[in-house]
Amino acid sequence: MFLSLCIPHIPNILEVSMQKVYNCIMKINVMKQTPNNITIKPEVRFGKPTVENTRVTVADILNLLKAGYTVDDIPKQYIGITKAGTVSAIEYAANILGKEEILSISR
């Protein structure tokens, strides 16, 4: 009885376990592909990737690009951001999007 309450559906556990394994592999791949001046720290901006020694996220950089700023303009918008940091943020985003995969779990 207790076991069935804790583990109601065995197939769901398999899916969750596979997802955990996949997430772990993806984290390792992300760490390998992260440019040197992009950091991911749980205590900074809730673990979002940021430009090193700042609280500026990769998403912040991408939003400025979307708004029409150039790579040369962005360092003028944030203290501590360099052109190299801006390029690293773009490289990081490109690495993540370029490695996107869709996994199918069949039953």
Kindly report the pTM of this predicted structure. 0.62
Domain architecture of the chain: domains with CATH: 26-98 (1.10.10.10)
Neighbours of 53 (CB within 10 A): 12
Cα(60)–Cα(31) distance, rounded to whole angstroms?
Answer: 20
The overall average pLDDT reported for the chain is: 78
E strands in 1-107: 38-39, 50-51
User: Which of 69, 45, 65 is closest to 56 using CA atoms?
Assistant: 45
**Above 70 in pLDDT, residue 107?**
no
The pLDDT tens digits for 10-36 are 455 555 566 666 555 555 555 555 678
Burial of 47 by CB count in 10 Å (0-12 exposed, 13-18 middle, 19+ buried)? Answer: exposed
Residue 96: what pLDDT?
83
- The tokens describing 23, both together, are 């997430």
